Structure 1
């Protein structure tokens, strides 16, 4: 694969799960190209297959059939350990629920990907502090997750996803658990981050209002584009 400016390319992705005596088809031949620095939304109702596609594109799951390339690399040919290192360096993830670790402070949660990658504590701390300041949370750095609001928790989760400066950020219903005012602020933050950090941004959502803010929207139903 040597398509100009294509960062990530999924080709004819199929995914199914065994269910009783049969198979439950989730994805039925999905193909998608994501260019460097591009922002797109994948819109669909619950059960459409959009979260499964995001997990496969983010190498968190493997398809039953299909191909997945990133900057010319065949991701499905990599071992699980190779993919883990690749994800940590190149990709960031934000989910509907923040998945912060309750025994660590906001600052420590953000540092985790750097520490997993073997970065020195001082360097990891500096990166995390910079992002906390960018997120407007510098004064909350020593607070634990149970001391933060929903919007603050999600901003910490976003900072954690970005601390290793990934080239692409995947977000799965990132505002689905927030009130409308907080949701709007987080949505604005995603676009600001995309521009300032030169990220590719892929957001999965069932929120039509959020999706239509993107320059490109894909609609999914029953595992296919519509």
Structure 2
């Protein structure tokens, strides 16, 4: 592509296949998408539609078989793995269905991890982590370990970790999938509050129609294509 797109985040002609038996299993079949800065959108589809694979490619956690990914005009797929890792840690945040907290670290230590990976001092990293935990309503749980936290608290800690370096975009893959309906509703409200407070772009992947339709823009995926 001679001229990169002017959008905040763009993916072009994304294909993704995996070896399967004697052939290949095609998950994504030429997906295009543009996201503007500060935009909130949902990607809706049933299990196996390809939505999680697309999110991982948009977030550079995986590389496509074919296609291009641009972030603020920068060709991300031209970066090597080490460069991409540093880029993700600075510019992107990720929340998944399972919290992926480290059991040997308490809440504040888990939230500090991206800052420490980036080389920030323990004092500054802890200050940022404590501030976010307070924002999440978890100030009194900062020294608790994952085994001592409820499902909703675990997910809020994971969200704080994703935001501690103030990314420009937050990706969330089925972030309420493991929660009861009451806790799920609270976490959903938190995402919308964070989007407004932190002025970040928000991309949610979900099969929850009620959650998805609360977003101003909804993309529907089936069999690796938009429908």
Tell me, yes or no, whether TM beats 0.5. Answer: yes
1:29 positional shift: 0.2
Alignment check: 8 A CA contact 2:47 2:207 kept: yes
In structure 1, stretches of 5+ residues that fail to align are none
CA distance in 2, matches of 1:31, 1:122: 42
**Counterpart in the other structure of 1:154:** 155
Alignment check: 8 A CA contact 2:99 2:154 kept: yes
TM-score by length of 2: 0.98
**Counterpart in the other structure of 2:84:** 83
**Counterpart in the other structure of 2:138:** 137
**Counterpart in the other structure of 1:106:** 107
**Counterpart in the other structure of 1:223:** 224
CA distance in 2, matches of 1:14, 1:33: 16
SS at 1:87's partner residue? Answer: helix
CA distance in 2, matches of 1:30, 1:159: 30
1:195 positional shift: 0.4
**Count of equivalent residues:** 225
Are 1:31 and 2:38 counterparts?
no
**Counterpart in the other structure of 2:198:** 197
Are 1:47 and 2:48 counterparts?
yes
CA distance in 2, matches of 1:73, 1:102: 36
In structure 2, stretches of 5+ residues that fail to align are none
Give the aligned CA root-mean-square deviation in angstroms: 0.7
TM-score by length of 1: 0.99
SS at 1:139's partner residue? Answer: helix
CA distance in 2, matches of 1:164, 1:9: 22
1:7 positional shift: 1.0
SS at 2:8's partner residue? Answer: strand
**Counterpart in the other structure of 1:163:** 164
1:20 positional shift: 1.0
SS at 1:52's partner residue? Answer: helix
Listed one character per residue, the Cα deviations across residues 97-134 of structure 1 (whole Å, up to 9, x for unaligned) are: 00000000000000000000000111000000000000
